[in-house]
Structure 1
């Protein structure tokens, strides 16, 4: 035996919540036991969320480390959760055998039932995150229940959120600092995940402007510029649930966009939860969501601008691809209408010109000869310019054409291009 730990009552309850939280972040839990303390670490598969929980030896009823000064082992998180899943546990014993490469958990229930769980240790990489929390300019301390109440204003399906922290408002002349909306919470939608076919109208953008003095226990911003970070909301809610179950407040440390977001649970008072600490590190999006004036830039506006640029680019590419010379268009239309020599056809085909949109009007008469006429169209033309283009006296002849047939499909596409250019 290399390590032996015994926990009961309130300590066991806290350890159980800690193990469940570790399993929500990563599939593996790394144990690092040293004389006087033990670390539990986990990281998610995408390496975007990291958690470390440290328990002092005084936290447990029994803490014994044998044979070696440092023990490092890894186990499956679901196996550790399963060993503590039984209801009404009053005592648990954890034993690690490094030579046999296994871990054994003994559980005593209130009704006298005893259970034994045994599982193998697995190989894993060492997990370590070195962060200097003193360098973070923004420090926000709040109650877990208050933050949960604020987050209830957002959609349950929301995946990311943006936090904007404004610098502290300095004191006015002759008086203290006036309350201001020091912090903002915005819903964030990744433009790459938004459907480009028009689902923007289905998205709900929510913004909360918060007075730091009313909603937070502490708010410090030692910098001079507005700071924003965009992080995963689901991971953040897991941290909130852990702090609420262990009766902790939480301190949020923010640096800038792209830098990790750190969360440090803090006891509500000095006499609670003595003997263990924890820290959570969440990755943030590299791009900032505020402009040079500190104003929020909505991702929806960015997406709409990108869509407009893409539509303009596609329209330009379509126009250059569809543009053909007049002779080819005329011969193609004559071929389409050549089978019915007794009918008259009118068609409008457009392409971009040097001075705007130019439409070529082709008229097929009763004879086999074709007459091509050019008519200038404005950008506001809807494509049905035959009403004003067939006036009497244009060639000194009256227009006695019969019913106009439907516009061929390739011609309708060109009419659409003309409308989109306006």
Structure 2
């Protein structure tokens, strides 16, 4: 694959990488006839983002051989190429992206002023297609607003805030409120609530009284990109527990951000989701297992359908990358709160609910120590 990006599009690519860096630690690349796709997913599989750059986005776009080809690189390495956005706009005139499968190298070459050329050789790893399972057509509510409106609304919330609740109030007004998990903490916590009138939005088609709670960290990253690109942001959502989808569309760009939403304890949907039986999402089998590990095995053995990539992302996903537990603990201590992995957030990829304190043993797990005769 060979692509050449010129002018202001180099900074657009840089903004996209910065937005994806808020999601996961790995960047998935897939060149197709529809363009170059950049995707990322977080470790808990509750946040997924996809940027599809059409061939018209490039000055030159050649697929090459072999096809199809998919790979992933470390996000930190790719982000280092586009670390300084102001510098990209002032000094970089052209960016060359060269994917060399035979050499296992991804070459990023920045052509700067005064004849300076910066070449970055990144090592990649071949991988399966990364796809989230969602469909905006099944969402009961949708909102469309200029990114500036939503960016000015969330600026009132602190950077350390983990989740925010979006709801519909009387008269069709849209509210944004910081989420407090424990009702006993309401007396000790400052609650910020903003109301936006229907006139602030370009389109409002929502269910009266509906509300969802999602993570703010990933949402801020998309808002920054959307505001800088001057694109309207569309929000598709259904009931609590089902994913909320944020979309940006342009003639040369298509963006999707999928976030898990917090389950409503009073909702009737919770028992069904706990059993992994979500009817409106395509599943690999008619009777999926309840536990996460065996579900992943079922997805691995399922044959991938031969269909072209689409905005609905109907295909399966690879297994999550195993990481060192000690490194995860260090990251959790110093990181800004993002998607909490221990709450009842539904996995977008496996259609199940991970509930703390209720572990289940997968059939494929080996019992290392059996009960003795004296144990009851």
TM-score, normalised to structure 1, is 0.58
Match for residue 190 of structure 1 among 181, 195, 200: 181
Are the aligned partners of 2:164 and 2:179 in contact in 1 as well (CA < 8 Å)? yes
Match for residue 93 of structure 2 among 90, 94, 97: 90
Query: Which residue is 1:154 aligned to?
Result: 157
Deviations 1:360-388 (A, max 9, x none): xxxxxxxxxxxxxxxxxxxxxxxxxxxxx
Deviations 1:318-368 (A, max 9, x none): xxxxxxxxxxxxxxxxxxxxxxxxxxxxxxxxxxxxxxxxxxxxxxxxxxx
The change in CA–CA distance for 1:155 and 1:37 in structure 2 (over 3 A counts) is closer
Are the aligned partners of 2:18 and 2:221 in contact in 1 as well (CA < 8 Å)? no
The change in CA–CA distance for 1:145 and 1:289 in structure 2 (over 3 A counts) is farther
Match for residue 138 of structure 2 among 135, 138, 142: 135
The change in CA–CA distance for 1:71 and 1:117 in structure 2 (over 3 A counts) is same
The change in CA–CA distance for 1:74 and 1:156 in structure 2 (over 3 A counts) is closer
**Superposition deviation, residue 154 in structure 1:** 2.9
Note if 1:274 corresponds to 2:274. Answer: no
Match for residue 77 of structure 1 among 75, 78, 83: 75
Deviations 1:234-257 (A, max 9, x none): 111111111012221100111110
What is the rounded CA distance, in whole Å, between the counterparts of 1:226 and 1:23 in structure 2?
34
Deviations 1:140-187 (A, max 9, x none): 111111112222333343211111125xx8xxxxxxxxxx24322221
Deviations 1:72-102 (A, max 9, x none): 1111112112223362211111111111111
Note if 1:252 corresponds to 2:229. Answer: no
Note if 1:106 corresponds to 2:92. Answer: no
Are the aligned partners of 2:70 and 2:128 in contact in 1 as well (CA < 8 Å)? no
Are the aligned partners of 1:38 and 1:54 in contact in 2 as well (CA < 8 Å)? yes
What is the rounded CA distance, in whole Å, between the counterparts of 2:153 and 2:121 in structure 1?
43
What is the rounded CA distance, in whole Å, between the counterparts of 1:155 and 1:115 in structure 2?
38
| Range with greater deviation from structure 2 (133-142 or 200-209) | 200-209
**Superposition deviation, residue 111 in structure 1:** 2.9
Secondary structure of residue in 1 paired with 2:119: strand
Instruction: Choose 1 or 2 for highest CA Rg.
Output: 1
Are the aligned partners of 2:30 and 2:69 in contact in 1 as well (CA < 8 Å)? yes
Query: Which residue is 2:198 aligned to?
Result: 212
Note if 1:231 corresponds to 2:214. Answer: yes
Query: Which residue is 1:368 aligned to?
Result: none
What is the rounded CA distance, in whole Å, between the counterparts of 1:209 and 1:165 in structure 2?
9
The change in CA–CA distance for 1:66 and 1:135 in structure 2 (over 3 A counts) is same
Query: Which residue is 1:120 aligned to?
Result: 123
Are the aligned partners of 2:70 and 2:127 in contact in 1 as well (CA < 8 Å)? no
Secondary structure of residue in 1 paired with 2:43: coil
**Superposition deviation, residue 124 in structure 1:** 4.3
**Superposition deviation, residue 290 in structure 1:** 9.4
Note if 1:52 corresponds to 2:50. Answer: yes
Are the aligned partners of 2:180 and 2:186 in contact in 1 as well (CA < 8 Å)? no
Report 1:262-411 matches (<5 A). 262-266=245-249, 273-287=250-264
Greater relative contact order (CA < 8 Å, ≥ 6 in sequence) = 2
Q: Which has more strand, going by share of residues?
A: 1
Are the aligned partners of 1:163 and 1:184 in contact in 2 as well (CA < 8 Å)? yes
**Superposition deviation, residue 200 in structure 1:** 5.0
TM-score, normalised to structure 2, is 0.65
Secondary structure of residue in 2 paired with 1:16: helix
**Superposition deviation, residue 277 in structure 1:** 0.8
Query: Which residue is 2:32 aligned to?
Result: 34
Deviations 1:106-140 (A, max 9, x none): 11112321111112112545310132211212111
The alignment yields a C-alpha RMSD, in angstroms, of 2.3
Secondary structure of residue in 1 paired with 2:125: coil
Secondary structure of residue in 2 paired with 1:71: coil
Deviations 1:277-324 (A, max 9, x none): 111001100116899xxxxxxxxxxxxxxxxxxxxxxxxxxxxxxxxx
What is the rounded CA distance, in whole Å, between the counterparts of 1:59 and 1:156 in structure 2?
33
Query: Which residue is 2:4 aligned to?
Result: 6
* Structure 1, gaps ≥5 residues long: 170-179, 267-272, 292-422
